[in-house]
Amino acid sequence: MLENISDVNWGNLTHAYGSAKDIPQQIYKLTSKDEKIWWAFFGKLSNYILYRDKYIFEATSYTVPFLIELLKDNNTLNRENILELLAGISNGTSYKAVYQYPPIKNKIVLTEEAHQELEQEIEWSKKAKEAVYQGVPIYYQLLDDSDFSVREAAIYTLASVKWLDAEIRTKLRNRMLHETCSLIRTNLIIALGIQRDKHKQTVEFLNHCVNQNHEPLIQLAAAIALVHIQSGNVSNQTIRVLIDAIKDPDRVCAYDNLLFASIDIIHDISWLLCCLTKELATQSLPLLLEAFRKTQNALAAIELSRTILMITFHKQCIPTGTHFHMLTEEQQETLRCIAENEVAWKFSVNMAEVLRDFRLPSDYQNFCRFIKGK
């Protein structure tokens, strides 16, 4: 195993902290049977090739094939974590594109040198994702692994691949239809949603789960998948399932332990509701406001504040110079609801950040004055 590692000229490559000449040692250490050694070197390697769990560097694409090779050996420790790292790379991006030269967002005119640097990092990112794609047959084989964590992580990694072909999607669909383990089926449902699998069998099965399934987590997963697959144009029952999860998160608390959970159920469902079509999002607002009024969780209230503002103001800041009486009745009701919710103001700094994003007064007193027309 790892016989070809010396074929790579690591000294000519770079990772997040400089020369990549130390990467072979870190890869070799992942064959260790000592947990402490394994984790020490896995942590370093992860940060070198996927900085802050997000940013890809030159050496990343060269490292990926050896990580895939480690997955083939059942004796490799913590294979689920290697799979998660590969999924992270598949979802990763260029550091310069986000922080140094975000031309689309800030309309920056790049120098020739800066443009070349940006293009180089984008190419690194593309090559790394292509390298992860090459491991698809291995990830699929791991769906039959005896270790549940490995099976779950393999689904997560397959979902992250941007070029998953029809044959693999068909195999995943068949597994979803016949899977007997509820948690594995839940993961397969979300994976096919992320892959935008519009096949008739998938859509019919997901709608059946939303309308008739008595397992709350599977019902929720199906609703999540349908939002992805149908580009936000979903049934009222699908929306109700999503909002019920916000109103009673304990009922589907297992969601927070899924690899697919971004932060937590409140955050993730709130984000999904913002992905609904404009018409459906507006129709969902009364149910969302009801959930917002009833929640006793301050952080959930803040997340819901952002969601109802996104829907009410159609993801736009209010124009400078706008007065309360100039807003629609729906917008006025939303702002009154926020002002009256004591729970939402417990973390005033967090609430201020949300309000500033919409160019609204960010402290409680001025927010109330704005509503009163002062």
Spatial separation of the C-alpha atoms in residues 280 and 236, rounded to whole Å: 8
Spatial separation of the C-alpha atoms in residues 64 and 57, rounded to whole Å: 12
Give mean pLDDT, residues 239-256: 93
- Tell whether the model's pLDDT for residue 259 goes beyond 90: yes
Beta strands in 198-282 (DSSP E): none
Give mean pLDDT, residues 221-247: 95
Give the model's pLDDT for residue 365.
95
* Neighbouring C-beta atoms of residue 260, cutoff 10 Å: 20
Over residues 150-188, the pLDDT tens digits come to 999 999 999 999 889 999 999 999 999 999 999 999 999
**Residue found under tokens 């020739």:** 112
> Average per-residue pLDDT in the chain?
93
**What DSSP element (H or E) covers 94?**
strand 93-94
- Tell whether the model's pLDDT for residue 97 goes beyond 70: no
| Burial call 127-146: b when 16+ CB within 10 Å, e when fewer | ebbebbbebbebbbebbebe
Band of the pLDDT at 98, cuts 50, 70, 90? low
Give the model's pLDDT for residue 109.
61
* Three-point CA angle 290, 295, 298, nearest 5°: 130
Spatial separation of the C-alpha atoms in residues 4 and 145, rounded to whole Å: 26
Give the model's pLDDT for residue 119.
84
Give mean pLDDT, residues 83-91: 98
CA dihedral 62, 68, 70, 74 (to 10 degrees): 180
- Tell whether the model's pLDDT for residue 250 goes beyond 80: yes
Band of the pLDDT at 95, cuts 50, 70, 90? confident
pTM higher than the cut 0.85:
yes
Nearest to 227 by CA among 284, 277, 300: 277
Give mean pLDDT, residues 209-234: 95
Give mean pLDDT, residues 269-285: 93
Over residues 302-320, the pLDDT tens digits come to 999 999 999 999 999 999 9
Could you tell me the domains of the chain? Answer: 1-163 (1.25.10), 164-260 (no CATH), 278-371 (no CATH)
Give mean pLDDT, residues 65-85: 98
Give the model's pLDDT for residue 100.
54
Over residues 319-340, the pLDDT tens digits come to 999 999 999 999 999 999 999 9
Give mean pLDDT, residues 19-43: 97
